[in-house]
Amino acid sequence: MPRAQVIAYVALGANLGDARATVLAAMQAVAKLPGTRLLRASSLYRSAPYEAKGPDFINAVIAVQTTLDGRKLLLKLQQIEIDAGRLRSYKNAPRTLDLDILLYGDSVIATPDLQVPHPRMFERAFVLVPLAEIAPDKVTTAQLAAVADQRVDRLT
């Protein structure tokens, strides 16, 4: 029996190399995953590193419809990060690519390597602003107001 399709939201970010090109390429790579199709992509945004140092990040959020379960989706996203040259040298290190599952349908997932909803998404303007762009029902005005002091610039 085929696995049910789920709408998942994935945050993308990069601040090393050609971050803009890397984020755009990652969107296409996610769209090509088995049983997965891209539904919506936010604009690209520039943001200062959050709780980290280094160059500004390019960020976006995408909505995908997928038959991959949460763990398989995570593993596929981690492979895309590796293919883009991602190294995990230390916590919050600058990175060529970071992909995070924000939401996976209505599921709550709590395993050592995957927590959904993403535990820190509501603390980060670089996640909430692009998520609100493509899924306004997923972000409240109060949640956006709580991160309004974090600089996030929409790119054209």
Sign of CA dihedral 105, 9, 32, 29: negative
Active site residues: 86, 95, 98, 100
Total residue length of the chain: 156
**Distance of alpha carbon 18 from alpha carbon 3, whole angstroms:** 36
Q: Which two tokens stand for residue 44?
A: 């690209």
Contacts of 153 by beta carbon, 8 Å cutoff, 6+ apart? 45, 46, 47
Closest CA to 6 of 91, 151, 104, 93: 104
Contacts of 104 by beta carbon, 8 Å cutoff, 6+ apart? 6, 8, 70, 73, 116
